[in-house]
Structure 1
Amino acid sequence: MKRVVSVIAAAVMALSIAVVAPAAATAAPYCGITWGSGTKTAGTHELGRLVNVRAGQQDCYDRLVIDLAGPGPHGFHVTYVDEIIQDPSGVLIPTRGAGKLQVSVFGASHEDDGTITYWPANPRELVNVAGWQTFRQVVAAGDFEGQSTIGLGVRARLPFRAFALPRDGGGTRIVVDVAHFW
């Protein structure tokens, strides 16, 4: 009897795995998003000037936009990190969210003569994202050797994409979209 129960239990377990596995393998991605969470790098090292940071909410993702002025195209490097670190000081910047994206763009926030091109009212809250689905905090994380770094705190390590678009009047918009879910 004990052997019969074991055989039945094994058969039920095998059947449940066979029924569940195909459904999981064929599940559609959230909103059709197939971005992944690996590092994204693109563009050239043509130096621009950081002039604005803004954000918006979409149905399936939250969007960060960094505006760079000057002849382009300009490039970027976006990656998940354990902590947001101030560049070049190395000071830890506390950032809300379980996931942290370091967004580096090839553009300084000042002219060669030192004139500031982007001066946020609050470097620890570049954009008010309170209550957003995915974003938790947007922080300035430094400007060093022609590269500006923005820290983006997100709810979790979620899929994201990054790309560059031409900016009206010249320059580049660096766009980072972070999905609401996997």
Structure 2
Amino acid sequence: MGRNKTAWATTTALMVATLGVAAVPADATATTTTSTTAQTTACPTGWGSVAKTRSAATTESLTDVRTGRHACFDRMVVDVPGAGTSGLGYTVRYVSRLYQDGSGHHVPVGGGAVLEVRVAAPAYDPDTGQPTYPVRAGERLKGVNLTGYRTFRDARFVGSFEGDTQIGLGVRARLPFRVWVATDRVVIDVAHNWTGAR
């Protein structure tokens, strides 16, 4: 009787092991490989690196600049609460050197290439002149830590003059980027590479 129980237990264990193996599809490895291959080519391409501009202006004030890491790109978001979408204008372009509006002072920005991000919104209250984004010219952006980013290298506040705010975004190299507007914010995405591979 003891021998039969042992044989039965062994047979059951073998059946479970066999069923467990059979439950894994034969093409599981191929599916994973295909999925990985699809992921490496899933990033958007065609953004280009030429200047992007949108004409509009607001009297609402810029209050924050933040960044985030994504699978295909690094992102910067410029918050202008109350501006909606119609009042948000911008110019984003690569520059060889970045100069502050008004003073003409050169503001150094680290990285292999520099994007000048200009948003048509003041970083101060137009009625009082008080800063709404209290960072001095040339300083790193408040609360922005670029450690571990694949594309972004440096981010500096350049200044706010006559209703426009300038930011210097240092990137690894001259890479494709896009700019788009959502409610109360301007979004800048800079790709990790030119090929669209992750």
Matched, 1:146 2:163: yes
User: Residue in 2 aligned with 1:110?
Assistant: 124
Output one character per residue of 1:124-181: Cα deviation in whole Å (capped at 9) or x when no partner: 2212112310000110011100000000000000000001100xxxxx2100000000
Task: List runs of 5+ in structure 2 lacking aligned partners.
Answer: 1-39
Matched to 2:109, the amino acid is T
Separation of aligned partners in 2, 1:46 and 1:119: 19
Separation of aligned partners in 2, 1:52 and 1:32: 27
Matched to 2:152, the amino acid is F
Do the aligned partners of 2:178 and 2:190 also contact (CA within 8 Å) in 1? yes
Do the aligned partners of 1:43 and 1:164 also contact (CA within 8 Å) in 2? no
Separation of aligned partners in 1, 2:138 and 2:42: 33
User: Residue in 2 aligned with 1:61?
Assistant: 73
Task: List runs of 5+ in structure 1 lacking aligned partners.
Answer: 1-27, 167-171
Moved over 6 A (4+): none
SS in 1 for 2:165: strand
More strand by share: 1
* Cα shift at 1:30: 7.2
Task: Classify 1:60/1:43 alpha carbon distance in 2 versus 1 (closer, same or farther; 3 Å).
Answer: same
SS in 1 for 2:48: coil
1:1-182 matched pairs, under 5 angstroms: 31-72=43-84, 73-112=87-126, 113-120=128-135, 124-126=139-141, 127-166=144-183, 172-182=184-194
Separation of aligned partners in 1, 2:133 and 2:165: 10
Q: Which TM-score applies when normalising by structure 2?
A: 0.70
Do the aligned partners of 2:137 and 2:159 also contact (CA within 8 Å) in 1? no
Output one character per residue of 1:5-51: Cα deviation in whole Å (capped at 9) or x when no partner: xxxxxxxxxxxxxxxxxxxxxxx977232100011111412332010
Structure having the higher Rg: 2
Query: How many equivalent pairs are there?
Result: 150
Output one character per residue of 1:61-95: Cα deviation in whole Å (capped at 9) or x when no partner: 00000001234421111010001212221111111
Q: CA RMSD in A?
A: 1.9
Q: Which TM-score applies when normalising by structure 1?
A: 0.76
Matched to 1:50, the amino acid is L
